[in-house]
Amino acid sequence: MAYSYQLETDEAYRKAYQKSIETPELFWADIAENFRWRKKWDEVLRWNFKEPKVEWFRGAKLNITENCLDRWVETQPDIPAIVWEPNDPDEASRILTYKELYEKVCQFAHVLKNNGAKRGDRICIYMPMVPELAIAVLACARIGAIHSVVFGGFSAQSIADRIQDAQCNIVVTADGAYRGNKSIPLKSIIDDALCNCPSVKKVIVLTRTSIPVSMMKERDCWWEDEIKKVEEKGLKNFEPEIMEAEDMLFILYTSGSTGKPKGVVHTCAGYMVWTNYTFVNVFQYQPGDVHFCTADIGWVTGHSYIVYGPLSAGATSLMFEGIPTWPDAGRFWEIVEKHKVNILYTAPTAIRSLMGFGLDSIKGKNLDSLKVLGTVGEPINEEAWHWYDENIGKRKCPIVDTWWQTETGGTLISNLAGVTKAKPSFATLPLPGVQPVLVDEKGNVIEGNGVSGNLCMRFPWPGMLRTTYGDHERCRTTYFSTYENLYFTGDGCLRDEEGNYRITGRVDDVLNVSGHRIGTAELENAINMHTGVVESAIVGYPHDIKGQGIYAFVIFNGIHTDENHTRQDINQTVTKIIGAIAKPDKIQFVSGLPKTRSGKIMRRILRKIAEGELQNLGDTTTLLDPMIVEEIIANRL
Ligand code: WTA
């Protein structure tokens, strides 16, 4: 057995689960023995959900990169750590062995140091999906700096907000990024962002697309030049900064139901143990397997299951720069064949979109290497599940439906591939250490099976968030105050007769569009920035491919030369303020919004209208202006 803690039978899972509930400290201490520590912990767990304060492996000292790199360099230096597949199939792929990745991380750690980075600094990373992104992330961890990766699809304004919130002093970026047949001018977007970010002293720029960029004296430097300086000195090692278990490892911004995105904070030891444990067990990773997680490292899935989970397990992680549908819808299958992928982990949105292209793009592709399939990010409908099972897994690959969140660090609820039973559209059972409860609106715990409610956790797991950066109170109110002594996920959930969990979707004002979280308040604020917009309300509606589509109701008192033109202008505003991923699918102009007498928008009604459920709108008599509902229905898109 490659990993002593790999659960290989249903019985082993049940036993481990039992132990993790009865004696969590003993359970996690045993697991933690499998890592490299500079000093072991004094105490496994100390916690309360009131403040909240959660500490795992208190007193331990480590550097996560020694676990992701050094220990594998000693035992398997020539095993591929990262296999990289470029956007363009005609460009050569790259392989970095553990030894090569180690050296590159160490070199870039020197570059960061040479540019003034210190332990505890916040470093913003805005890069394409190239190996240097993973290298930059790991180099931050090597020197004890806190990385804040921002997805390449976010706008200058969004980046500026994130940089300011975390007071980053360094930005690592590239000239541009390739995505399908488009290229994105990353550096130019960073230049715009930095007009309002005096904390940033250095920008390190990788060459990727070779488009012209402006390089500001003193502030900007080229990645390649900086590496050359390090190489000239012959430096291939970098002594890791020794971190405390609970030192911050990274910040990752995510949208909530109110206000601006929050910086979710993860810490070194617990996150490492959690991503590793869940990676090894959920996917049943075997040494030599090629693991292909199709997410971007700009999202938590990429952090946990491209970088930290796989590398801490000595696995081979495949990183793909492009998109599933370019040059054609066979791109994923071509990659699976070319790199003999064993584990494929993707989003339901990608599956549904590829389904739409039919079976031709799969024909002739050899998918025999596949052993395990996974999904993440949103509920998977049964139709997509069966399509994935039949056409990709050929009915011989278990599918793991992994439920988790940016805040949870790694998977909390999932079947274990080929070990515990799958059930289409169910995430199934909690992983060891995870104690889900369902509660009703009042916070009463709903016992028994065949019930549904709001999903909460009653006990900490090592990978949970510790705070929201710079605002602990926001962490408390968002996650720990709705229900006393519980972590509230924001998701609705049902538990079937056998105790399997099925996540039904968000119960707060957060949309899940193509597996990406969009806060309705944040999006409304962006739309309201457009001149002429008086007010707006955003709701989600079922969308065949994206899971949820975005429906905007907008009160506009500017002058339309043409409504479609105004729609495009509004989309442009959203693209500037948040990013293209938040553009509404539908924009309906309305003369008013359904509001209660106290001025609250009745989203329930708008949601029903957007969904096309016009029969059961519920009581509209308490509205300030009940007539407005008729008008909105009449002009529905
Ligand atoms: C949703 C992504 C159903 C859920 C890892 C959650 C899912 C939000 C699943 C977190 C799943 C994630 N089944 N819904 N398997 N996985 N979700 O933070 O609503 O980007 O709260 O983390 O995605 O999204 P986030």
* Domains of the chain (ranges, CATH numbers): 10-63+246-504 (3.40.50.12780), 65-241 (3.40.50.12780), 518-634 (3.30.300.30)
Q: For 529-576, what is each residue's pLDDT tens digit?
A: 999 999 999 999 999 999 999 999 999 998 888 999 999 999 999 999
Q: What is the mean pLDDT of residues 433-459?
A: 97
Q: For 250-264, what is each residue's pLDDT tens digit?
A: 999 999 888 889 999
Question: What 8-state DSSP symbol labels residue 459?
Answer: S
User: By alpha-carbon position, which residue is closest to atom 7 of ligand 1?
Assistant: 378
Share of the chain above pLDDT 70, in %: 100
Return d(Cα 40, Cα 62) in angstroms, integer: 9
* Residue from 154, 304, 378, 415 whose mutation best tests the ligand 1 pocket (most atoms within 8 A of CB): 378
User: Which amino acid is present at 336?
Assistant: V
The answer to whether 173 and 156 have CB atoms below 8 angstroms apart is no
Rg (CA), the chain: 24
User: Which amino acid is present at 623?
Assistant: L
Instruction: Give the containing element (helix H, strand E) for 538.
Output: strand 533-543
* Residue 514 CB–ligand 1 contact under 6 Å: no
Local confidence band at 618 (pLDDT 50, 70, 90 cut-offs): confident
* Residue from 266, 408, 517 whose mutation best tests the ligand 1 pocket (most atoms within 8 A of CB): 517
CA 141-142-144 angle, to 5 degrees, is 60
Measured in Å, residue 377 CA sits from the centre of ligand 1 at 4
Query: Which residues lie closer than 8 Å to 444 by C-beta, 6 or more apart?
Result: none
Q: For 169-182, what is each residue's pLDDT tens digit?
A: 999 999 999 999 99
Q: Which residue has the higher pLDDT, 595 or 259?
A: 595
Q: For 359-375, what is each residue's pLDDT tens digit?
A: 999 999 999 999 999 99
Return d(Cα 212, Cα 187) in angstroms, integer: 10
Return d(Cα 404, Cα 414) in angstroms, integer: 9
Local confidence band at 1 (pLDDT 50, 70, 90 cut-offs): low
Relative to beta strand 170-174, strand 202-206 is: parallel
Quote the tokens at residue 551: 């429906």
- Burial status of residue 414 (CB atoms within 10 A of its CB: 0-12, 13-18, 19 or more): buried
Query: Which residues lie closer than 8 Å to 229 by C-beta, 6 or more apart?
Result: 111, 114
User: By alpha-carbon position, which residue is closest to atom 25 of ligand 1?
Assistant: 405
Quote the tokens at residue 426: 């169910």
* Residue 298 CB–ligand 1 contact under 6 Å: no
User: By alpha-carbon position, which residue is closest to atom 10 of ligand 1?
Assistant: 405
* Residue 301 CB–ligand 1 contact under 6 Å: yes
Quote the tokens at residue 39: 């000093």
